[in-house]
């Protein structure tokens, strides 16, 4: 069984080494590494090097890697959720007591709490409204409309920072040299 170190030393673009491709099927971290070095490796490891996925190879690779990351995250979350049943019971009791206590406090304070915002609203009025400093509250698709019957538009999800957005437009009506 190959380990990750020797895989990364031996892996190169265009490799067909069966042992390397076999390692990829069982190791998500090396799959991530390999997809960055050579996106075609996903196809070779599946044994389908001549296939072209709909939307293009990059979109496919990006989609697969996203799924791998989601699966990783799910595994981590699932692992952390393992709690013994006596501890669960203790937690439930603690939460219940906290909720009960908080609602009792809320009921006692309710008339006072309801009065406070009204006073504050009167004092600040229109000028007291929070001003939006161009902080986006919603997102819009980059391409709002595209005039063509035969076009496919793919917006590649941004990774972390959203300073650059990639949009692919496949349009059969474009000039023949494209």
Partner 1 sequence: MLMALFLVSATALADAADVGKSLSVRTFTFKHKQAENAAAMIKSLMSADGTMSIQSKGNSLVVTDDPENLKKIAAALAEFDTAPQPFRVNVRLVSAGRNPAAKQGRVAEELRDIESKLTLLRYNVIEPVGAAEVTGKEGEPGLIDLTQYRADFQFGQYDPASDTIEISNFKLSRLDGDQLAPMMKTTLNLKLGQTVIMAVTRDARSNRALMLVLSAKR
| Binding test (CB under 8 A) with partner 1, winner from 73, 83, 91, 143 | 143
Nearer to partner 1, 76 or 167 (CB): 167
Please give the Cα distance from 125 to 82 (Å, whole number).
50
- From 10-18, 22-30, 70-78, 98-106, give the range in contact with partner 1 by CB under 8 A: 98-106
The least distance separating partner 1 from the CB of residue 49, rounded to whole angstroms, comes to 14
The contacts of residue 149 (CB under 8 Å, 6+ apart) are: 173
Backbone φ, ψ for residue 141 (5° rounding): -65, 145
The least distance separating partner 1 from the CB of residue 5, rounded to whole angstroms, comes to 27
Indicate whether 144 belongs to the interface with partner 1 (CB under 8 A).
Answer: yes
| Binding test (CB under 8 A) with partner 1, winner from 58, 63, 64, 68 | 58
Q: Which two tokens stand for residue 169?
A: 């437009």
* Residue 51: closest CA among 40, 66, 59: 40
Indicate whether 137 belongs to the interface with partner 1 (CB under 8 A).
Answer: yes
The answer to whether the CB of 171 falls within 8 A of the CB of 148 is yes
The least distance separating partner 1 from the CB of residue 15, rounded to whole angstroms, comes to 17
Q: How far is CA 123 from CA 4, 116, 120, 128, 132, in A?
A: 64, 11, 5, 8, 20
| Binding test (CB under 8 A) with partner 1, winner from 99, 108, 120, 157 | 99
Nearer to partner 1, 28 or 39 (CB): 39
Indicate whether 140 belongs to the interface with partner 1 (CB under 8 A).
Answer: yes
Please give the Cα distance from 6 to 26 (Å, whole number).
15
| Residues engaged in binding partner 1 (CB under 8 A) | 39, 52, 54-58, 92-93, 96-97, 99-100, 103-104, 106-107, 110, 114, 117, 126, 129-132, 134-148, 162-172, 174-178
């Amino acid at each position: 069984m190959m380990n990750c170190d020797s895989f990364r030393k031996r892996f190169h673009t265009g490799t067909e080494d069966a042992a390397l491709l076999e390692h990829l099927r069982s190791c998500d971290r090396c799959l991530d590494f390999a997809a960055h070095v050579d996106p075609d490796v996903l196809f070779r490891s599946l044994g389908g090097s001549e296939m072209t996925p709909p939307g293009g190879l990059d979109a496919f690779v990006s989609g697969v890697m996203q799924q791998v990351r989601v699966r990783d995250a799910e595994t981590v979350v699932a692992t952390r959720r393992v709690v013994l049943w006596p501890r669960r019971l203790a937690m439930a009791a603690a939460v219940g007591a906290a909720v009960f206590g908080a609602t009792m406090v809320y009921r006692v304070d309710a008339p006072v709490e309801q009065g406070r915002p009204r006073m504050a609203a009167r004092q600040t009025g229109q000028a007291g409204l929070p001003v939006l400093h161009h902080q986006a509250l919603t997102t819009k698709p980059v391409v709002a409309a595209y005039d063509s019957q035969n076009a496919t538009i793919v917006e590649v999800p941004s990774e972390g920072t959203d300073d650059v957005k990639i949009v692919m437009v496949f349009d059969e009506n474009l000039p023949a040299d494209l």
